């Protein structure tokens, strides 16, 4: 069908429908009898309970969204859209979600061949601070690996031919195909700064985000990455996040990563996160990672986390990882965690790890966790969890098998009589050379670990609906992974719980 014929055809078909309806002449008249309202009124007024939120579909929508950049390109009036269009022209498909709206230092590369590479990153801020334009990005994406080294953030001419994509069917795009893995490589040697202020301030920095299967994401930061929310809202830094089966994430942090929320806001840092079966997350930190909620907010850092069966996590850190919260907010570090059957976590910490909750919240460190897999944990730095009015927990080396070496000092204290709990090398071998200080609580070395709760002889992280929860993950922006349920604001895995229809 050609465009000029569509209205005519529609009119004709509509007429045909009307003629068809002539057999039921009252039908059209009854259209207006009902209560159906046009527009969004129904949905604004009557939001249904969410029921079972199938995150797969959400993720899929994101993936299909990538495939739909014909729409985005067609409608885009910004440089980022044009960047996507270039990728589409060259590859037949865009490779990267346009998660960035541009600011700070951004880099990328594009090889233009099967197994091609297109990458860029950026940051965006929602709040009273004016948002920088997409156009900021254009100077920051460049072609060729050599060029990256030579002129990392130089503006480049459009390396691709002009002209609109052509397709073989309405709405389709260029005929290019891509074979092999999708690779995203981001170099951010310069400073990346995202700041949002005012009520509802939401500052987000994204460096290397992918949402597709078989994706490999590599991110290197050399300069400081700073995300700051100066109002009630959220400060969030995501570096190297890939979802999908076989996702591979490699992150090198040579500079500093700082996430600060100053005013009743949550601070979150996520570095090297992979989800899906056979996911790999490798993270090396030489700089510092600081996550701080300064005023009654929760603070959380997740570094090297993979969700999915047979996933693998490797984290090495010579730097320091510090997470501070205030008010009722928790301070949580999760470093080197592989959630899934047959997974492994290898963690080597030379630097220090600190979680400190200065208000009523808990302070928690989880270092080297593969509850259904093998761990290999070496901690030569100090690991400290300090709660003030809240409890404090250090879990170091939790796996179904493996070895945990602790050479540094482990300190777990809660100032106001709340329990402290230290678990080292649960379910495996544990060797401790340093000092272990645990005030007013339980210490477990090796063995079954210090169970939070137990049921039928099993160690449970929590009890939900009378069932044992064996894994708990934070809820991501895409929701909970498959087979997890959303409960108490987090994602729970309950082995014997058929949650498919229930929630």
Residues 112-141 that bind another protein (CB under 8 A): 124, 126, 130-131
3-state SS class at 343: coil
Closest distance between another protein and the C-beta of residue 343, in Å?
23
What is the 8-class DSSP label of residue 114?
Answer: S
CB nearer to another protein: give 65 or 223: 65
CB nearer to another protein: give 57 or 158: 57
Site for another protein in 214-233 (CB under 8 A): 214
CB nearer to another protein: give 53 or 467: 53
d(CA 337, CA 345): 6
Query: In this chain, which of 93, 356, 374, 405 binds another protein, going by CB under 8 A?
Result: 93
Query: In this chain, which of 86, 101, 292, 405 binds another protein, going by CB under 8 A?
Result: 101
Query: In this chain, which of 161, 457, 489, 501 binds another protein, going by CB under 8 A?
Result: 501
CB nearer to another protein: give 39 or 457: 39
d(CA 327, CA 264): 9
CB nearer to another protein: give 270 or 352: 270
Site string for another protein, 61-80 (x = CB under 8 A): xxxxxxxx-xxx-xxxx--x
- Residue bearing tokens 């080597």: 348
CB nearer to another protein: give 1 or 457: 1
Closest distance between another protein and the C-beta of residue 30, in Å?
6
Closest distance between another protein and the C-beta of residue 392, in Å?
37
Site for another protein in 26-65 (CB under 8 A): 26-28, 30-31, 33-40, 42-44, 46-54, 56-58, 60-65
d(CA 224, CA 189): 8
Taking CB under 8 A as the binding criterion, the range among 25-33, 252-260, 305-313, 388-396 that sits at the site for another protein is 25-33
3-state SS class at 140: helix
Q: With CB under 8 A as the rule, give the number of residues binding another protein.
A: 94
Q: Is residue 496 a contact residue for another protein (CB under 8 A)?
A: no
- Residue bearing tokens 């156009």: 135
CB nearer to another protein: give 13 or 448: 13
Closest distance between another protein and the C-beta of residue 82, in Å?
12
Closest distance between another protein and the C-beta of residue 49, in Å?
3
d(CA 155, CA 160): 15
Six token digits for residue 324: 């501070």
d(CA 41, CA 352): 54
d(CA 349, CA 408): 9
Closest distance between another protein and the C-beta of residue 92, in Å?
5
Query: In this chain, which of 98, 217, 335, 461 binds another protein, going by CB under 8 A?
Result: 98
Closest distance between another protein and the C-beta of residue 115, in Å?
11
CB nearer to another protein: give 20 or 158: 20
- Residue bearing tokens 């939070």: 452
Closest distance between another protein and the C-beta of residue 284, in Å?
29
d(CA 227, CA 209): 16
Site for another protein in 161-180 (CB under 8 A): 164, 166-179
CB nearer to another protein: give 111 or 126: 126
Site for another protein in 177-216 (CB under 8 A): 177-179, 212-214
Give residues with Cβ within 8 angstroms of 427, minimum separation 6.
Answer: 398, 399, 400, 401, 446, 447, 448, 449
CB nearer to another protein: give 206 or 259: 206
Taking CB under 8 A as the binding criterion, the range among 88-96, 218-226, 249-257, 304-312 that sits at the site for another protein is 88-96
Residue pair 279/304 in contact by the 8 Å Cβ criterion: no
d(CA 377, CA 429): 10
Q: How far apart, in Å, are the Cα atoms of 397 and each of 73, 346, 364, 437, 448?
A: 48, 9, 14, 17, 12
Six token digits for residue 473: 């993950």
Helix ranges (DSSP H) in 151-194: none
Burial level of 498, CB count in 10 A (0-12/13-18/19+)?
A: exposed
- DSSP string of 246-261, one letter each residue: T-EEEEEE-SEEEEEE
């Amino acid at each position: 069908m050609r465009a000029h014929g569509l209205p005519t055809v529609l009119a004709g078909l509509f007429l045909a429908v009307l003629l068809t309806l002539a057999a039921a002449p009252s039908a059209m008249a009854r259209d207006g009898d009902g209560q159906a309202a046009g527009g969004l009124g129904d949905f604004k007024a009557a939001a249904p309970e969410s029921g079972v939120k199938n995150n797969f579909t959400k993720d899929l929508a994101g993936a299909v969204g990538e495939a739909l950049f014909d729409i985005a390109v067609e409608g885009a009036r910004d440089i980022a859209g044009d960047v996507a269009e270039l990728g589409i022209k060259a590859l037949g498909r865009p490779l990267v979600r346009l998660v960035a709206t541009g600011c700070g230092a951004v880099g990328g590369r594009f090889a233009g061949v099967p197994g091609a590479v297109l990458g860029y990153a950026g940051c965006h801020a929602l709040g009273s601070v004016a948002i920088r334009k997409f156009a900021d990005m254009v100077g920051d994406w460049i072609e060729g690996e050599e060029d990256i080294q030579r002129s990392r953030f130089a503006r480049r001419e459009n390396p691709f031919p002009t002209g609109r994509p052509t397709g073989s069917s309405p709405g389709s795009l260029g005929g290019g195909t891509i074979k092999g893995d999708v690779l995203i490589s981001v170099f951010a040697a310069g400073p990346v700064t995202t700041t949002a202020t005012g009520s509802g301030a939401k500052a987000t920095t994204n460096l290397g985000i992918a949402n597709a299967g078989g994706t490999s994401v590599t991110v290197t930061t050399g300069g400081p990455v700073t995300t700051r929310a100066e109002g009630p809202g959220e400060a969030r830094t995501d570096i190297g996040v890939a979802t999908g089966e076989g996702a591979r994430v490699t992150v090198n942090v040579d500079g500093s990563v700082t996430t600060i929320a100053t005013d009743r806001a949550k601070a979150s840092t996520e570095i090297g996160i992979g989800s899906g079966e056979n996911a790999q997350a490798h993270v090396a930190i030489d700089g510092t990672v600081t996550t701080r909620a300064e005023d009654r907010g929760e603070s959380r850092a997740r570094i090297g986390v993979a969700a999915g069966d047979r996933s693998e996590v490797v984290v090495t850190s010579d730097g320091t990882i510090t997470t501070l919260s205030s008010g009722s907010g928790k301070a949580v570090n999760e470093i080197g965690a592989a959630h899934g059957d047959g997974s492994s976590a290898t963690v080597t910490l030379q630097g220090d790890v600190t979680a400190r909750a200065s208000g009523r919240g808990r302070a928690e460190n989880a270092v080297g966790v593969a509850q259904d897999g093998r761990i290999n944990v070496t901690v030569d730095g100090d690991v400290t969890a300090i709660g003030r009015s809240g409890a404090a927990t250090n879990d170091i080396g939790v796996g179904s098998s493996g070895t945990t070496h602790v050479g540094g000092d482990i300190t777990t204290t809660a100032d106001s009589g709340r329990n402290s709990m230290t678990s080292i090398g649960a379910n495996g071998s544990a060797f401790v050379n340093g000092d272990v200080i645990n005030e007013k609580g339980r210490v477990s070395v090796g063995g079954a670990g210090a169970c939070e709760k137990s049921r039928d002889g099993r160690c449970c992280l929590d009890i939900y609906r009378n069932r044992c929860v064996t894994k708990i993950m934070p809820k991501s922006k895409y929701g909970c992974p498959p087979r997890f349920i959303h409960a108490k604001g987090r994602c729970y895995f309950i082995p014997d719980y058929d949650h498919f229809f229930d929630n």
